[in-house]
A and B are shown apart, each in its own frame.
Chain A
Amino acid sequence: MLRMHKNLYGLLCLVVIASMLLVACGGGGTPTEMPPEPPAAETQPPALETQPPAPPTEKKIATFIYTQEFDYLAPLYTGMWFAWTTWQMNNHWAWEFDENNEPFPRLVTEIPSTTNGGISEDGTVITMHLRDDIKWSDDTPVTADDFIFTWEMAVSPNNIVYTTYPYDNIASIEAPDPQTVVITFSQPFAPWLASLWHGILPAHILRPIYEAEGTIDNADWLRNPTVGCGPFNFVEWESGSFARFVRNENYWGTPAKLDEIFIRFVPDDASQVQALKAGDADIGYWPPYADIPGLEEAGLNIMVEPNGYSEWMFFMVNEEKSHPALLDVNVRKAIAMAIDREGINRDLLLDLTKVPASFWDALPFYNDPPLVNYPYDPEGAKALLDNAGWVDTNGDGVREKDGVDLEIDHATTVKEQRQDAQAVMQQQLAEVGIKLNVQAVDDTLYFASYAENGPAARGEFDIQEWSDGPLFPDPDIYYWLCDQIPTDENPTGENWFYICDPELDSLIQLQSTQVDVVERQKTISQINQLFYDKVYIIGLWQDPDIYVVSSHMKNLKFSGVTMFFNIAEWDMEQ
């Protein structure tokens, strides 16, 4: 018995010593001291491999940090930003968008327009001409059949796709030849340029699956798209850990300069910052503003790309719901002039962003002529309020009119920079005699639906605040339409501003049918000016994509739409 126990404790000691030895032998120092990566097939968890011999030269591997893991790696099946971004590595859009968010042809020879005959006179037929040299990584040509198949899969009731939009607006698609795609809409469809062909499906791989199973939901390709038409080939994706892409040696375009892209999923912002500082990653996203100076001190570059979103204050301009003062455009203008928005950007957001003057700030084509913000002018604001009849007669510091105090409720979600800005605005508005009651609500409660009594959906605040924009890169803002105001009969309405402006309504409806880009631009410009003149919204700061980039990465450009549009040109110094 005693011997057995001695053996037991001996075994325990051995376990302890073995653990220590394993950790001690675990390596350390710099990554370059590590042996090369074993073959992909041998890297599946939980099996662990022994170290292979040292590599002759180090590969150019760019490590990205994603704070969210994508759910799919295929078009149609997800709305996640990180998924959309990622499949641009191994897939292409028919046309992509550059660093100025301007479209350029990728799989097509030119972007359809009325002038090149790509768009019919009545705006219902769009004809695309595909390049004749494009091919999938398995050497199969990319043809019109892939586009038709993508449309068929998007609208098939058997597939659980994320959205059928915009493909459900298409009446038919035909392919007169393998390089021509003729799309017929049931009625003119203005957002075609922004919303069509965000990646395509390989018909030669997925059609047999669809024919056999009646759906592609379970197709392995949706999560392991080993065949693509982009500059990189997908290799593997280990849940929660990483995904790898290697250069597509069979790419039809200019071959990528990087050997490999390694995406690591790091959900914690603070960990991302430490990893970037430690050199464990080359590219990170959306760091907290407060960490940006530290990242720059560590030698990392910060790149900012407008993406269509900006932080806005939305006025409730509705006779039934608003504070009476907000029905007066001069009061709204006074509020805009009483807040030092440039100061907020400078002090709270480190001057990394700009104050948006237009809802289409990130789409300069539609913000033409460009608007200029109302200046920070507290004295001017006071004068406007005086003229509007809002004066402080009882000396309590708050203006009033007809016995009603100029006391306004402002609510947004819980986020450090929003609460900081609220405090600043509260103080600055108090200086002109406006009392701002600020609230911060948890986002799930704040954005709860009308049916769930969500306060924003129910229009419970005089001023609401969140990050918003048009249907970027499309300029549409359909959710400002009168028929989008939520009611018990229409609980899913998205006009949470409760503004019903007949002039605005007719312009929004008009632009949604204008397939001709130039005509549409004129209408959007009118809407732009109307927003500005009537001060329905006040821009606080742009909410751009912010990238943290290691200094040894070269040739990087980002787009607010197709973020990795020039990833084939990316390079790194070793």
Chain B
Amino acid sequence: MGRYIIKRLLQGIPLLFFISLILFLLMLNVGDPVATMGGRRVTRRADYERLRRQLGLDQPVYLQYAYWLLGNDWTKIDLDGDGVAETTGTRRGVLRGDLGISLLNRKPVIEVIGERLPNTLILMVASELVIVIGALLVGVFSALRQYSIMDNLITAILFIGYSMPIFFVALISMFIFAVLFKRWGLPYLPTVGMFDPQAGKTTAQVLWHMVLPVLSISIISFAAYSRYIRSTMLEVMGQDYIRTAKSKGLPRSEVVFIHALKNASLPIVTVIGLDLPLLLGGAVVTERIFAWPGMGRLFLDHVDRVDMPVIMGILMLVSLAVVVFQILTDIVYAWLDPRIRYEK
């Protein structure tokens, strides 16, 4: 297993290199970060040329990529525009852990991402827990009571949730549980943010402000997970070994949760394994609507201002996570199904 993991990790290196190259080239077509610098008027020509030089955007593409990857502390650059490269660069490059500097606020990209990642993880892990645990319970219940009234009812509700776009779910839940509940004199949920300024950032406040975002994310994701579990459970429950377990007189709970659910989990692990790395990218729409300061909003905000170092940092982080989580998924496969072996 150890050799397998090392082999997969080594395979990931050229993959990440090609991903970075493609993303970098795509980023060049996103727009011009210096065009307005966030203002309503176009940047003056003199400032435009100065800023492009100072931010290194006047360099050829291959050199920009080389500086991003390898840094520029091994060469001299022209900062004052006199045509003479006299200043030694300060960037160390991605390969040495330097993701660069944000073009917007000159903060290190690692710091920019580090400020948002915990908020995204709080929201997304909570949502994923609610989704997975809820979907397990609902999926198993539906499978064991196939075509019952409850099964049909649950299926209908889940598909209603699944068919609604998340922005609609988010806004309608905000309107009902915050605006209308307040109007009706009921205890109401907060609309936006992570806490109330009068109360401060307490655990209770953050959890309270998470309710609507988690609810919105869960509603649209619940159906897919629970339907996966339901269908795989139905398939497994019809297997010979389940019939054998039942005929040997094992308790029903043991048959369902030990023998059936474990084997039915394999496809679910695949789905979760694909979803988990994307958690790092945040929930773009949900974070925007509920003003949750996570990675999704960070990505949107910086795409809007064409902040290439930050965008590249986020995309490479997610790419790295996908590679790592795929390896972890393979490991979990082996744990769940002893027949799977990666060693020759």
Contacts and interface: CB of A to CB of B under 8 A. Distances in A.
Interface of A: 2, 5, 9, 12, 15-16, 19, 22-23, 25-32, 34-38, 43, 45-46, 48-52, 58-59, 61, 63, 65, 68-69, 71-72, 78-81, 83, 157-158, 160, 162-165, 168, 217-218, 222-223, 238-242, 244, 260, 262, 264-268, 270-272, 274-275, 277-280, 309, 444, 449, 471, 492, 494
B279 to A, nearest CB: 15
A31 B300 CA distance: 30
28 contacts: A15-B133, A16-B133, A22-B207, A26-B207, A27-B199, A27-B208, A29-B187, A34-B202, A35-B202, A43-B200, A45-B119, A48-B202, A48-B203, A49-B201, A49-B202, A58-B198, A71-B38, A79-B37, A157-B50, A160-B55, A162-B51, A239-B298, A241-B193, A260-B197, A264-B192, A271-B174, A271-B192, A449-B32
Contacts of B104: 71
A157 B78 CA distance: 11
Contacts of A38: 200-202
B253 to A, nearest CB: 9
A23 B119 contact: no
A48 B201 contact: yes
Interface string B96-127: 00000000111100001001101101100010
Contacts of A43: 200-201
Given A9-B257, A218-B106, A278-B179, A50 B203 contact: yes
Interface string B264-305: 000000000000000000000000111101100110110001
A56 to B, nearest CB: 13
Interface string B55-92: 10000000000000000000000011100000000000
B301 to A, nearest CB: 7
A271 B290 contact: yes
B260 interface: no
B179 A274 contact: yes
A45 B205 CA distance: 13
A279 B179 CA distance: 8
Contact of A262 (B189, B197, B301): B197
B301 A240 contact: yes
A5 B254 CA distance: 10
Contacts of A65: 192
B1 interface: no
Given A69-B301, A81-B39, A264-B192, 19 more contacts: A9-B257, A19-B126, A27-B205, A28-B187, A34-B196, A51-B204, A52-B200, A71-B105, A79-B43, A164-B47, A222-B106, A223-B107, A240-B115, A240-B297, A265-B293, A271-B171, A271-B289, A274-B174, A492-B48
B191 interface: yes
A265 B301 CA distance: 11
Contacts of B187: 28-29
B197 A444 contact: no
Chain A binding site: helix, strand, loop or mixed by DSSP? loop
A471 B44 CA distance: 13
| Nearest 7 A/B pairs, CB to CB | A34-B199, A79-B39, A240-B293, A37-B200, A46-B118, A26-B208, A241-B293
Contacts of A61: 197-198
A38 to B, nearest CB: 5
A277 B179 contact: yes
A19 B207 CA distance: 10
A19 B48 CA distance: 52
Scoring A25, A157, A271 by chain B CB atoms within 10 A of each residue's CB, the highest score goes to: A271
Given A28-B188, A160-B106, A37 B193 contact: no
A52 B188 CA distance: 22
A265 B257 CA distance: 45
B258 A275 contact: no
Nearest to B34: A162
Given A45-B118, A46-B118, A240-B119, A28 B208 contact: yes
A398 B37 CA distance: 44
Contacts of A71: 38, 104-105, 305
Interface in B16-45: 31-32, 35-45
B130 interface: yes
Interface of B: 31-32, 35-48, 50-51, 54-55, 79-81, 104-107, 112, 115-116, 118-119, 121-122, 126, 129-130, 133, 171, 174-175, 178-179, 182, 187-194, 196-208, 210-211, 254, 257-258, 288-291, 293-294, 297-298, 300-301, 305
Contact of A278 (B45, B79, B182, B300): B182
B194 A267 contact: no
Given A12-B133, A240-B301, A268-B288, A280 B191 contact: yes
B205 to A, nearest CB: 7
Given A5-B257, A15-B129, A267-B300, A25 B204 contact: yes
A9 B199 CA distance: 37
A50 B194 CA distance: 15
A492 B49 CA distance: 11
B193 A264 contact: yes
B281 to A, nearest CB: 14
Contacts of B193: 241-242, 264, 266, 280
Contacts of B254: 2
A223 B190 CA distance: 28
B200 A36 contact: yes
A222 B48 CA distance: 21
B207 A80 contact: no
A267 B301 contact: yes
A23 to B, nearest CB: 6
B284 to A, nearest CB: 11
A175 B189 CA distance: 57
Contacts of A22: 207
Contacts of B171: 270-271, 274
A530 B38 CA distance: 33
A37 B47 CA distance: 43
Nearest to A38: B200
A192 B178 CA distance: 49
Contact of B202 (A5, A50, A223, A264): A50
B227 to A, nearest CB: 20
Contacts of B300: 267
Contacts of A69: 301
A32 B289 contact: no
A347 B81 CA distance: 53
B318 to A, nearest CB: 18
B79 A275 contact: no
Given A16-B133, A71-B105, A267-B300, A27 B293 contact: no
Nearest to B305: A71
